[in-house]
């Protein structure tokens, strides 16, 4: 029996309200055999669209509702959000059909609210152009691009109005899927040929030589492709690949990845070492390490050892042991909002302050594990200065035996979605003198 795609969208949005991650839920839906590829595309577009634009959608609904949003039943509010998204952002489905489908769905959820939903949506269609955004720049940007006000204020203070607006806009765009070729098993050109024969559209990354940008998956999900099971590639953004390249691991070295899960950088380090030498991959729980183990097995790597280890706690057995140490620190994730839009609503300013303490503690412990003349690379997937450049500056003040090694003639690397068309990533390379 054909699945009701709108009902799946509603169920997914309800799950997200219960603090489930959008990307995880979409991955689960993709594995369902009862959903056709066309419906999957619709479901994914609407779910992501609603989450990315939720604050603006709520703002519009509020303009046409006689009932406060907090008083509207959560399921009914999600029906209004998904319908408003289609009316405002999509053109393929006529507005009248959007309203009819919303009313049908409402009747299945709670019949007595069908007139309420019908009235709001028809009023919205007639009067959408009358909706005005707040006059103040920070409030306008917050509503228009659905980012919390505290986040907008922080970025305005650092980056200014024009850059911040470009950044917010980029955060709401759908990023391409990026693959890292497992060059131990296949070269990039041969892998691209195989991917194209499976119906994918792809192009070479201009940033990293192992990277392949997928411009269209067709009707497939990435784990259905034979080359995935064969270990010929793994999913990893270009910015993340650059971290391992900056670490510059060599065959025969001893390297520590102190915060390894889910294993993208760990396996890339091993790959760049040509499976020679030793990579110690650590994380805080066995469950996290299981993710690394899955990737190691699929990519057929054999020079990685796994350790359950709390990076904030001193490990005497690691002292002065490693040629290079990677600290891909726990962070706010404000550089990957375009991939995980839930971050916008789940993080607070207090979270950043708490993370700063953790990051400094991990850096302090990591500094003890590097041989003299060895290298420490610090990276995050955020654009927040206090987690990045300011963190490194504070570290150097209390660790005078370290100095910065320039990256491409700059003292560090900060990537932005709106500038570099990658995830927002930070990386700094430090030498223990």
Give the Cα separation of 369 and 358 in Å (integer). 17
Top-tier CATH class for 177-235? alpha beta
- Examine the residue annotation and report whether 202 is marked as an active-site residue of this protein: no
Question: CB neighbours of 253 closer than 8 A, spacing ≥ 6?
Answer: 273, 277, 278, 323, 324
Nearest to 241 by CA among 181, 330, 322: 181
Of 202, 282, 381, 427, catalytic: 381
Structure tokens belonging to residue 163: 């850059």
**Whole-angstrom distance, CA of residue 220 vs CA of residue 24:** 17
Instruction: Write out the E strands in 217-367.
Output: 233-235, 254-257, 278-283, 304-308, 322-328
Within this chain, domains 177-235 and 241-432 share the same CATH topology? no
Q: Which CATH class is domain 241-432?
A: alpha beta
Structure tokens at 111: 């019949």
Q: What is the CA radius of gyration of the chain?
A: 24
Residue 103, H or E segment? helix 95-110
Tens of pLDDT, residue by residue over 267-319, are 999 999 999 999 999 999 999 999 999 999 999 999 999 999 999 999 999 99
**Domain extents in the chain:** 5-130, 137-171, 177-235, 241-432
Give the integer Cα–Cα distance in Å for 63 and 61: 5
Q: Is the pLDDT of residue 220 over 80?
A: no
- Average pLDDT for 382-408: 97
* Spatial contact of 182 and 234, defined as CB atoms under 8 Å apart: yes
pLDDT, tens digit (0-9, with 9 covering 90-100), for 133-183: 999 999 999 999 999 999 999 999 999 999 999 999 999 999 999 999 999
Is residue 36 scored above 90 in pLDDT?
A: no
CA distance 249 to 37: 41
Domain 5-130 adopts which CATH fold? N-utilizing Substance Protein B Homolog; Chain A (1.10.940)
pLDDT of residue 1 exceeding 60, the answer is no
Torsion angle, CA of 396/401/406/407, rounded to 10 degrees? -80
Q: What is the DSSP string of 15-36?
A: HHHTT--HHHHHHHHHT-TTS-
Across residues 225-239, what is the average pLDDT?
96
Q: What is the DSSP string of 122-133?
A: HHHHHHGGG---
């Amino acid at each position: 029996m054909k699945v009701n795609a709108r009902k799946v969208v509603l169920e997914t949005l309800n799950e997200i309200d219960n603090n489930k991650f959008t990307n995880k839920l979409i991955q689960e839906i993709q594995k369902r055999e009862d959903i056709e590829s066309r419906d999957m595309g619709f479901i994914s577009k609407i779910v992501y669209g609603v989450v990315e634009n939720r604050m603006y959608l709520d703002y519009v609904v509020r303009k046409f509702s006689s009932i406060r949003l907090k008083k509207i039943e959560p399921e009914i509010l999600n029906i209004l959000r998904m319908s408003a998204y289609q009316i405002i952002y999509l053109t393929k489905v006529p507005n009248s059909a959007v309203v009819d489908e919303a009313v049908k769905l409402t009747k299945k959820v709670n019949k007595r609210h069908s007139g309420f939903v019908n009235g709001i949506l028809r009023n919205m269609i007639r009067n959408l152009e009358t909706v005005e955004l707040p006059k103040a720049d920070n409030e306008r940007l917050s509503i228009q691009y659905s980012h919390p006000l505290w986040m907008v204020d922080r970025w305005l203070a650092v980056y200014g109005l024009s850059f911040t607006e470009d950044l917010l806009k980029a955060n709401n765009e759908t990023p391409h899927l990026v693959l890292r070729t497992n060059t131990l098993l296949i070269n990039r050109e041969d892998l691209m040929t195989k991917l194209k024969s499976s119906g994918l559209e792809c192009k070479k990354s201009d940033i990293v030589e192992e990277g392949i940008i997928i411009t269209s998956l067709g009707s497939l999900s990435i784990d259905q492709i034979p080359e995935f099971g064969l270990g010929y590639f793994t999913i990893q953004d270009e910015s993340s690949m650059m971290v391992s390249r900056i670490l510059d691991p060599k065959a025969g070295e001893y390297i520590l990845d102190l915060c390894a899960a889910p294993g993208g950088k760990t396996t890339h380090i091993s790959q760049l070492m040509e499976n020679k030498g030793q990579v110690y991959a650590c994380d805080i729980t066995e469950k996290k390490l299981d993710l690394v183990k899955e990737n190691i097995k699929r990519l057929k790597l054999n020079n990685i050892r796994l350790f359950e280890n709390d990076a904030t706690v001193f490990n005497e057995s690691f002292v002065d042991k490693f040629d290079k140490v990677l600290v891909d620190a726990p962070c706010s994730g404000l550089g990957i909002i375009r991939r995980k839009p839930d971050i916008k609503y789940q993080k607070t300013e207090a979270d950043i302050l708490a993370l700063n303490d953790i990051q400094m503690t991990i850096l302090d412990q990591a500094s003890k594990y590097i041989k003299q003349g060895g290298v420490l690379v610090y990276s995050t997937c955020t654009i927040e200065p206090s987690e990045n450049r300011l963190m490194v500056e504070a570290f150097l003040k209390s660790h005078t035996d370290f100095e910065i090694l320039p990256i491409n003639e700059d003292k560090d690397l900060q990537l932005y979605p709106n500038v570099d068309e990658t995830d927002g990533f930070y990386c700094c390379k430090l030498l223990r003198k």
